[in-house]
Amino acid sequence: LLKEALDLASRGLDAKDPANRALAVTGNNLAATFEEKESRTADENEFMLLCARTARKYWELAGTKSHILSSESRLAMSHLKAGMPERARCHAQTCLEICQEITAEPWDFFYGYEALALAEKNLGNELGFQTAASQAEKYFHLIPKEHQHWYAKSMKQLKSIISASV
């Protein structure tokens, strides 16, 4: 159904059409859902990446810079899950560049550095991993206490990788 919606959208959605936002949200949510699966088929990986690209494309039309940086983070994580750490690193770096540009919230920086750390780890760059993981932890502690629970699972997973690396 998403592919059918994208086909219809490609035929000429007006830039202000609310369908742009719906496609961005749907793409993001589907990509995140596929990322959570323990294992995916090649077709599921391909669809997950299509969903992440859809989110990025349609947030460009319907969202803010904050939405765009979040979609770059999503692209990074989807590429990691698909076994493409080089592409993940590029999207994590783009996410962080936008974070700097707009002085994003600490949680945005956290997700960008988390994705970068994981990409570097998958690429075998231990120094890059340690540097990015340290930055992720720094930004985690800058997130207001009342919101940290949303990011705690990701921080815990990152810390377990750090511990295993030492």
| Neighbour-count burial of 166, counting CB atoms closer than 10 A to its CB (0-12 exposed, 13-18 middle, 19+ buried) | exposed
Residue 166: what pLDDT? 65
pLDDT in tens, 106-141: 999 999 999 999 999 999 999 999 999 999 999 999
Name which of 48, 30, 28 is nearest 39 in CA terms. 48
3 state DSSP class of 104: coil
CA distance 115 to 80: 8
- Cβ distance 110 to 156 under 8 Å? no
Q: State the pTM of this model.
A: 0.92
Q: What is the pLDDT of residues 17-51, one digit of tens each?
A: 899 999 999 999 999 999 999 999 999 999 999 99
Percent of the residues in the chain that have a pLDDT greater than 70, as a whole number: 99
Q: pLDDT tens digits, residue range 66-92?
A: 999 999 999 999 999 999 999 999 999
